[in-house]
Structure 1
């Protein structure tokens, strides 16, 4: 039976429903639950909003839009970044000095974004700690934290390292802030390795699964490992002895290396003391020992252990005095001046190589690495001592995730989950015929992404379909989406792909996809220079047989067109033939491909031109209603909340009496329930089996309400430096479904939720093993599927 989200009585073991939470449950549709059947009245469609502007003279997106339409002087910046900077200047120049002072005071009270990101990873690590989680899944969560930390260092830490090296004491990045972040990062890494060594390794040993070191291997196992080394490893190694003619080699980002101190002299009688051994990425990081020498256990050896055991064979005639594994992390954002390139795709392809050798931001070494060797490495990479991480175990925990696939034991994994076919689509029938009758919502991964794929397959194979337009951000390698678009071109259909080349760490896959589509004759564009196209849209134009008229079919989503992540991330898709929405989509595609001025849109709200304004206006509307004594409610679900103007607006609305709940998975810089400031704001974060990824914005004031789905988080980058979209859910039944499944479920989760406290710390849900979990309830509602 599906779980229903009803108020928890005070007498139950769970805490009573706080009064602050009841507002969402008493919306016009009546008490919300996860059940499909409803006896309640439909939610009225919100009337057009006539919302006054915030007290500030202009919001950022208004200033940006006005600047876009003005003739810029020759000396003024013409890049998108320049427009955004000019918009900021115009905004704060027109604000009253008292308002600016109040904003600055609020900024000082906001939480630090980087500390928020590290706190998010602490919450993820909790799943690796929990003994009720299957063992291989615990390892997977541990590796996810390491992967997240890698990306944080690659993307966020370069300015901090630069400030630390300069000894900066003032500004956004300082030596003090760097040390504070490194203290937190060291603490998190220590927790990881303590968990790995003291909990996970013994637990795996109890299951007969071990990664055996050289000292633990039998003579037969050592013989097999030596033969493997000679056959598979040694031919790929190229040790470099350091001297004036052999400088320190280029070390790639996150690659495994050894630094070795040698005794004696080389073949030319020189006492070059230090050598570097780079371990190629092509080598597997874990190798399973054959059953005949492993006995009844599942035994593995790491590539680092194999190399370490045979280092002496790489330096014949020399004695290995000491050695250590090391790994350097580098700044990895691609720096391409988009205003000074004639071919963005070619410039990005050339930049991909340089990413591997950017500024060093972190050095990891094995725990026993001597101060002499670690100091040499720190000096070589120009890093302060705080950026040195000594680890008791593999220097790259991410690669331990290979154990999940190598062991492949269902008993040590979550029960398999296969998403159900979308309930609102009848299998075997034309998807387009069904959405001609009414809009369809798909809630991934509880429902299958196959419904979206089936729509595109149908469009490709339908001779009446004339054109397909789609945004592409992350599709993954060998994507069926890209294969279908290619097939559509071959069948003579007009195909427009707005492909974002700068999707971080997916640049190469997207460049390759662009080249393949262009070679077939598709129209491929890269959006707007200076902005990332992050909006998710698919638009199909078909000539209807009966009427002979052209009709549009649209798909909008909070998540990517990626089959793999569609099974792992929670997202909402909407299939629609709504004439206003699909006309808006067509206008946006035309804007992205031709750079024509964007016309007035009927339903879609687009960043960077409208979305920021619209969110500010809606918050303001709710706050003013609260001030008049009317019911006023805001519930927002997103991945991150860091935009200061939007946070200031939420603070003001809360002070006016609006009740505000924020469900923010990762970084939330707005501290809740601080007396006299954010008393009416609560924040929670849900970390579950699936990655929470949908963006849902609910505003209610008086008898009106507005529910929007979006591709955008509430971050300055999304609002000002990306093409994003939000759209209203106007169908009352679908609207209530989103409210139930994305908002009510999240607010009543007392299993996987974390509550942000006023001091910036997170408190775990009281019932992590027995409570009511939103994701589990939705799996029961849509499943079980195996």
Structure 2
């Protein structure tokens, strides 16, 4: 669908023009820079700063394991195809290194020179082994002998001992020792055990620092190992040691069409993932001598361009452990998700009462019968809404069937137990478990097998497509008819991430939605070739075309002298065809606001091209994960929510579902949420036409408006019956 042929106004837009696009990989780096900024921001509480340092590092690990690994494979395969912004794979790798190295240096310098000092001022002392007292050292030496030494395995490297396999993301010591008899230097590798705590806390009677009691005092485990290497190499002289950490490609490559058993094929791939993937990054201590580097590089099949020198601790991802300290004054104010008022009676009942109510009128299904219900996590409780929906369906004698998709979940989810109980009670239970959910494959396999053993019909997805949609369908007998209840969400059925990610879910018993989900599940579990749906926008079938139609409709309104308006919130905007259509809309006069958390390849603010497009990104205590699409439609507003971003993978290579919102009150609520986010002047960043982001700050005499804080306040007030002015009157007048 080429917009250059659709309307004369688009002749200036050519999808091949690189000047209209930002690079996907570099745009993601800018997102991670915004994450790092939360750690640098003086307004962020101390332990939250450590959290954001950790997230920055964790994000980079996945980025190298997947995105950089793909680029390196393309270079090795001599792929010359250019991205929409005009870069070859090698040019992208060069640009990544140029942008990322200063960011990594900034991260480590800030932690070593600023955060460690701030931690000490608050009574949290992460010490270097060389700075501890004799009493503390004696304790750690004893601990080493009792608990660490038995776990360690030094591996020699010489003609009779080949270079050992290095596990992905493992922390290692490269050790050089001298044999006092032969006078020869020898090399060995010692893996720092990751089954033990990374930071070893000293006992309370040894926690006084400068005679002042403190909250926490400890040292990194790798320093304890390093200062006790003599125990691993008796009668040898330890000359030097240096830390290193290898990152390998970790994306699975399963030939689905050739796999007789997809679950078995993925299990076999997982067994080798830690060691099989090619190396893509080596983090080393800056002090590592050139001789040791030259020995490591060829063994790990890496070059100088793959090396990241670190001055200080490696693997700052482990700083997340400090969030467990009982120091609320050093964290964001606690937030407990509120129970939606209409669901409160069920969640305050005993198990017996819940069972009795499921037999009568008062249950979650009677609430949904009255009107659609929107839930907004983590502001509203996931357990009191989504988990309760499945739990009541499992208990309710009138429920005949439950069908769900599970992309990512967690082992403590009540949903799994409800589904197994439903199957054991004779209900028809079907669960599509996506085995190819990256880095959750093992967890999904474990639960898929447990579900099958309890009688649940488990399906493993479609060949060539990931099932990313978040949908649940409950079929219930009510008198002489069958009713279908649906939940369509933007986030995973995961109670852990539901406390950290902002997501939306719609409960409804509208007949068209029930019929659409029935057809969609038949497509997922059987051989149905469904080409159209009544209400749902489904990828890879209809979503792209329908989204483009909705954008074009705003263009037509502008061409007819009416206002055009689009507000869209998503995680990423990458798809060239969608971007080209948005440019056409901007050129036609459509006012477009985009709230894109992460990667954005659209270039806003270009004269005559995108001057009517504004892009912001919101980075805060919660990860913005909900997808909302609002089209003004000449005053007949249409709002959609669902699981898909505007990316080729979501539109072409995944099964996704986006639903229209037909309840006027819910539609207005979603529009209000978008307006609150657009007015954010605390956590919002504005994308510039050169690709940089500028953080908003309150203007003179303007109050600070954090959209996430505002939504917490509004939801708490609403569900506790505290009278507050409306959203708009309170925050925008």
TM over 0.5: yes
Q: Partner residue of 1:102?
A: 14
Q: Distance in 2 between matches of 1:302 and 1:566?
A: 32
Q: Is the 8 A contact 2:25 2:92 kept in 1?
A: no
The answer (yes or no) to whether the contact 1:265–1:272 under 8 Å persists in 2 is: no
- Local SS of the residue matching 1:176: helix
Answering whether residue 651 of structure 2 is matched by residue 758 of structure 1, we say: no
Aligned pair partner of 2:486 in 554, 571, 581: 554
| Deviation, structure 1 residue 425 | 3.2
User: What's 1:525 paired with?
Assistant: 459
- Correspondence list, 1:424-443, <5 A: 424-428=342-346, 429-443=362-376
For residues 468 and 399 of structure 2, the distance between their equivalents in structure 1, rounded to whole angstroms, comes to 26
Question: Do the aligned partners of 1:425 and 1:440 also contact (CA within 8 Å) in 2?
Answer: no
Matches within 5 A, 1:324-403: 324-357=242-275, 358-403=277-322
Looking at structure 2, the residues matched to 426 and 477 of structure 1 have their Cα atoms a distance apart, in angstroms, of: 25
State whether structure 2 residue 190 is matched by structure 1 residue 277.
yes
Task: Render the CA deviation track for 1:16-37: whole Å, top value 9, x for unaligned.
Answer: xxxxxxxxxxxxxxxxxxxxxx
Does residue 661 in structure 1 map to residue 589 in structure 2? no
Equivalents in 1 of 2:304, 2:263: separation in Å? 38
Q: Does 1:708 align with 2:620?
A: no
Alpha carbons 1:527, 1:592 under 8 Å: kept = yes
Greater shift, 348-357 or 751-760, is seen at 348-357
2:522 counterpart of 1:572: no
Counterpart contact for 1:591–1:598, Cα < 8 Å: yes
How much does 1:699 deviate?
A: 1.1
CA distance in 2, matches of 1:247, 1:265: 23
**Deviation string, structure 1 residues 561-608 (Cα, Å, up to 9, x no partner):** 010111111111111111110111111011111021115311111000
Taking structure 1 as reference, are residues 274 and 169 closer, same or farther at Cα in structure 2, changes over 3 Å only? Answer: farther
Question: What displacement does 1:421 show?
Answer: 0.5
Indicate which of 41, 48, 55 corresponds to 1:144: 55
CA shift for structure 1 position 130: 1.6
Which of the numbers 435, 439, 449 marks the counterpart of 1:515? 449
Q: CA deviation at 1:435?
A: 0.6
How far, CA to CA, are the matches of 1:154 and 1:706 in structure 2?
Answer: 39
Please give the TM-score of this superposition, normalised by the length of structure 2: 0.91
Mapped to 1, the partners of 2:110 and 2:698 lie a distance apart of: 22
State the alpha-carbon separation in 1 of the partners of residues 248 and 703 from structure 2: 42
Match of 2:173 among 243, 258, 282: 258
- Match of 1:506? 440
Determine the structure 2 residue equivalent to 1:476: 410
The one of 614, 622, 636 aligned to 1:682 = 614
> After alignment, is 582-591 or 312-321 more displaced?
312-321
1:237 partnered with 2:149: no
Mapped partners of 1:160, 1:539: distance in 2: 40
SS of structure 2 residue aligned to 1:132: coil
Length-normalised TM-score, structure 1: 0.85
Is 1:749 matched with 2:680? Answer: yes
Uncovered stretches (5+) of structure 2, i.e. residues with no partner: 347-361, 721-733
Partner of 1:159: 70
Please list every run of 5 or more consecutive structure 1 residues that lacks an aligned counterpart in the other structure: 1-52, 59-94
Contact kept? 2:3, 2:580, Cα under 8 Å: no
Could you tell me how far apart the structure 2 residues matched to 1:460 and 1:394 are? Answer: 49
Deviates more, 1:483-492 or 1:167-176: 167-176
- The residue matched to 2:110 in structure 1 has which SS? helix
Shift of 1:168: 8.0
SS in 1 for 2:637: strand
Q: Deviations over 1:32-79 (max 9, x none)?
A: xxxxxxxxxxxxxxxxxxxxx765789xxxxxxxxxxxxxxxxxxxxx
Offset, 1:426: 4.4
Pairing 1:601–2:533 present? yes
Q: 2:33 aligns with which of 122, 134, 138?
A: 122
Change (3 A) 1:567 1:307: same
Rounded to whole Å, the distance in 1 between the matches of 2:76 and 2:534 is 52
Of 296-305 and 699-708, the range deviating more from structure 2: 699-708
Structure 2 match to 1:292? 205
Q: Higher mean Cα deviation, 351-360 or 142-151?
A: 351-360
Show the 5 A alignment for 1:180-329.
Answer: 180-264=95-179, 271=184, 273-295=186-208, 296-297=213-214, 298-329=216-247
Q: CA deviation at 1:253?
A: 0.5
Tell me, yes or no, if the aligned pair for 1:243 and 1:272 is still in contact at 8 Å.
no
1:775 maps to 2:688: no
- Is 1:286–1:403's contact at 8 Å kept on the other side of the alignment? no
Is the CA contact 2:531–2:541 (under 8 Å) kept in the aligned structure 1?
A: no
Shift in alpha-carbon separation, 1:379–1:606, aligned structure 2, 3 A = same
1:492 aligns to what?
A: 426
Instruction: Output the CA distance in 2 between the equivalents of 1:390 and 1:436.
Output: 60
Task: Tell me the distance in 2 between the aligned counterparts of 1:720 and 1:100.
Answer: 27
User: Please, which of 551, 561, 564 is the counterpart of residue 632 of structure 1?
Assistant: 564
> What SS class does the counterpart of residue 104 from structure 1 fall into?
coil
1:61 corresponds to: none
- Asked whether the 8 Å contact 2:486–2:509 carries over to 1, the reply is yes
Of the structure 1 ranges 592-601 and 361-370, higher mean CA displacement relative to structure 2 is found in 592-601
- Give the aligned partner of residue 618 of structure 1: 550
Separation in 2 of the partners of 1:393 and 1:716? 40
Q: Is the 8 A contact 2:13 2:584 kept in 1?
A: no
- In structure 2, the CA distance between the partners of 1:387 and 1:767, relative to structure 1 (3 Å rule), is farther
